[in-house]
Amino acid sequence: MSASEKDRVKEFTEFRQRMNERILGQDNQVVRRFFALDTQTYKAGKLDLKTKELLGLVASMVLRCDDCISYHIAQCKEAGVDRDEFFEAFSVALVVGGSIVIPHLRRGVDFLDQLEGQGIDAPAAPDHEH
């Protein structure tokens, strides 16, 4: 794995954490409440965490948000999603979203490859937001 690939994972994690802290540091209850709602949504309930993260991944792919895709791939990996399960989820996203999802699938698989190649843990943060 190249240094630039390692840097991408590190930069994504650090930027996300830094900006979440910056955003949550503002005195804005709407933003804080939305972040809290997002965090609560992904807690295990009738659906387990793994299932919820896979749902988030598919929705992010269909909506074509690369940051969200990377985040949910990392969270799915941490929740124990294996490569075959990822590709089943990717297939759902492709069927629902169509061919326009393919470039995001490429970047998502590249990010997954980087996570697996480095054995890096999922981005840790006290909140869930993408």
- The whole-angstrom separation of Cα 23 and Cα 11 is 18
Q: What is the pLDDT along the chain (130 residues), one digit of tens a residue?
A: 566 666 778 888 899 899 999 999 999 999 999 999 999 999 999 999 999 999 999 999 999 999 999 999 999 999 999 999 999 999 999 999 999 999 999 999 999 999 998 655 555 544 566 6
Domains of the chain by residue range = 3-118
Q: What are phi and psi of 96, to 5 degrees?
A: -75, -45
Contact 13, 71 (CB under 8 A): no
Alpha helix stretches (DSSP H) within 48-82: 49-63, 66-78
Map residue 121 onto helix, strand or coil: coil
CATH 3.30.1490.20 at 3-118, yes or no: no
| pTM for the structure as a whole | 0.82
